[in-house]
Amino acid sequence: MTFKRQFLQSVAALSVGLFLSACGKAPPASVAAEPAASAPAAPAPTPAAKVITVGTDPTYAPFEFQNEKGEIVGFDIDVLSAAAHKAGLEVKFVSTPWEGAFTALAQGDRDVLVSAVTITDERKQTMDFSDPYFEASQLIAVPAKSAVTKLDDLKKKKIGVQTGTTGEEVVVKLQGKTSTNIKRFESTPLALAELAAGGVDAVVADNGVVIHYLANNPTAGFKSISDAGFAPEFYGVAVKKGNAELLAQINKGLADIKADGSYQKIHDNYFKSTK
């Protein structure tokens, strides 16, 4: 009898706890501690998981692009989804043009950016970055017949870049800010289309994107060239400056997916032939 009452009481306490957490309110610590300790690791976030709005410029295969159904997919999307899931966050990806993305983050229109964003000291002034989740570098795309073998050969050539990217920075450093030979495009595929059309002599962009483009557009007749001077770059998830709580959750999620092998699985899925 006493046992039964106690049992019923703890069931009641348990369901109150579950109900409260389902509502997104923290249950009293005494109630929360018990089910957490005895239950096996819950794979799914609670239905009331916080939804974060994620901005991404999905013109950047294989990192972020739109599939035939118009859904936003890619390596970055899988990485952030998995990391957020570990942190109990739900993600909503919103197509966000690269040029307005940093402003959208600063204004709070997006909670997070995942868009193959290279962590740079300059950007760190206006936003905070997660731990790096991918290493990249610049790569040059030129027509197969081009005599170009290194970045310096592009000093006087017309070069296509995506506006506001690290590719643009590299080219500005080479030719100077006011060079009329730098052709800026709102996306990297547009720059590559201009290369195919003969409007520029080369495109400088992130290696993963150039390699993916070459592999998927063999008829374009491009080759890629690396330059010893290209510095390693690291992609990070960006949050609004000062949003330490969200940043900590994302870093924890990233660490978790690295530790349990799911990051590696996602990586292998997109970059089978590379490291």
Residues that bind ligand ARG (CB under 6 A): 57, 59-60, 64, 98, 115-118, 165-166, 206
* Residue nearer to ligand ARG on the CB measure, 117 or 239: 117
Considering the complex, what minimum distance in angstroms separates the CB of residue 265 from ligand ARG? Answer: 22
Considering the complex, what minimum distance in angstroms separates the CB of residue 50 from ligand ARG? Answer: 24
Considering the complex, what minimum distance in angstroms separates the CB of residue 35 from ligand ARG? Answer: 41
* Residue nearer to ligand ARG on the CB measure, 64 or 111: 64
Dist CA 100 CA 97 (whole Å): 6
Considering the complex, what minimum distance in angstroms separates the CB of residue 60 from ligand ARG? Answer: 3
Dist CA 193 CA 14 (whole Å): 60
Considering the complex, what minimum distance in angstroms separates the CB of residue 63 from ligand ARG? Answer: 6
* Residue nearer to ligand ARG on the CB measure, 82 or 127: 127
268 is written with which tokens? 């292998």
* Residue nearer to ligand ARG on the CB measure, 21 or 165: 165
* Residue nearer to ligand ARG on the CB measure, 132 or 143: 132
* Residue nearer to ligand ARG on the CB measure, 82 or 171: 171
Considering the complex, what minimum distance in angstroms separates the CB of residue 118 from ligand ARG? Answer: 4
Considering the complex, what minimum distance in angstroms separates the CB of residue 157 from ligand ARG? Answer: 21
SS (H, E, C) the chain: CHHHHHHHHHHHHHHHHHHHHHCCCCCCHHHHHHHHHHCCCCCCCCCCCEEEEEEECCEECCCEEECCCCCEECHHHHHHHHHHHHCCEEEEEEECCHHHHHHHHHCCCCCEECCCCECCHHHHCCEEECCCCEEECEEEEEECCCCCCCHHHHCCCCEEEECCCHHHHHHHHHHCCCCCCEEEECCHHHHHHHHHCCCCCEEEEEHHHHHHHHHHCHHHCEEEECCCCCCCEEECCEEECCCHHHHHHHHHHHHHHHHCCHHHHHHHHHCCCCC
* Residue nearer to ligand ARG on the CB measure, 60 or 75: 60
